[in-house]
Amino acid sequence: MADQAEAMKSSAPSRHRRKWLLDARKTVLAPDEEDFWKGITADMMSDEEDGSVDGVRGWIVRPPSFHSQELANLCAALQAGG
């Protein structure tokens, strides 16, 4: 039980970031993207955070394995500013 509580506690910031990403991306949708976006939830957002890979610091994006290519492309376009 303690392991489950710790896992939930450590995942709270990640859930908060995904919710923030969802809300932020909704604000820059083009009219033709709104219908596609209606079924998207915070759980479908990538985990994104500052970090380093092989000693190089930067923004690390981990899209969920179930992302469709269409959703991945739309999220990338929205992240880039439309």
| pTM, two decimal places | 0.51
pLDDT digits (tens, 9 = 90+) for 21-75: 888 888 888 888 888 888 888 887 777 666 777 887 776 666 676 667 887 787 7
Has residue 9 got a pLDDT over 60? no
Has residue 2 got a pLDDT over 60? no
63: exposed, middle or buried (Cβ count in 10 Å: 0-12, 13-18, 19+): middle
Q: What is the pLDDT of residue 4?
A: 57
Strands (E) in 1-82, as ranges, are 47-53, 56-62
Q: What is the pLDDT of residue 1?
A: 60
The tokens for 29 are 């949708």
